[in-house]
Amino acid sequence: NAGVTQTPKFRILKIGQSMTLQCTQDMNHNYMYWYRQDPGMGLKLIYYSVGAGITDKGEVPNGYNVSRSTTEDFPLRLELAAPSQTSVYFCASNPPNQPQHFGDGTRLSIL
C-alpha cells in the first residue's frame, strides 16, 4: 500500500512548454485533489474529482487541466507553462468523511 504517489519529484520547464504531473493512489479512494503551495503560503485548491469521469474547478484552475479516467489516477496538465506556475504541487485523496492524505509533492520551476 504505497498511498498517494506523485511523479516527477522535481522538474524544470521553459516558458511555453507543457507537461503532465502524475498522481496515483492505491487506496481505492473516490475523492482526489490537486493543490499548489507557493513559498510562505498555505495550499490552494486547483482541481478536484469525486470519482472517475467527474472533475471540477477549485480556487485557482486557470492554466491547468485534469482528467480522471480511472479511480487510481488523477493527472494534472500544464499546457503553456508560465513563471507564475512555479510552485510545489500536491496531490491528495480521501475516503468518505475522512481526512485528506497527501503525496510528497512535485517541485516545479518555470524559467
Partner 1 sequence: EDKVVQSPLSLVVHEGDTVTLNCSYEVTNFRSLLWYKQEKKAPTFLFMLTSSGIEKKSGRLSSILDKKELFSILNITATQTGDSAIYLCAASVGGGTSYGKLTFGQGTILTVHP
User: What is the binding site for partner 1 (CB under 8 A)?
Assistant: 4, 30-31, 33, 35, 40-45, 48, 50, 58-59, 90, 94, 96-105
What is the SS3 assignment for 85?
helix
Rounded to the nearest whole angstrom, what is the least distance from the CB of residue 13 to partner 1 in the complex? 21
Rounded to the nearest whole angstrom, what is the least distance from the CB of residue 92 to partner 1 in the complex? 8
CB closer to partner 1 out of 16 and 95:
95
Phi, psi for residue 55 in degrees, rounded to 5: -135, 160
Question: Could you tell me whether strands 101-102 and 106-110 are parallel, antiparallel, or unpaired per DSSP bridges?
Answer: unpaired
CB closer to partner 1 out of 38 and 79:
38
CB closer to partner 1 out of 17 and 109:
109
Rounded to the nearest whole angstrom, what is the least distance from the CB of residue 103 to partner 1 in the complex? 6
Handedness of CA 94, 100, 101, 105 (dihedral sign): positive
What are 83's three cell numbers?
513563471
34, 48 Cβ separation under 8 angstroms: yes
Angle in degrees, CA 24, 25, 26, rounded to 5: 130
Rounded to the nearest whole angstrom, what is the least distance from the CB of residue 69 to partner 1 in the complex? 19
CB closer to partner 1 out of 87 and 105:
105
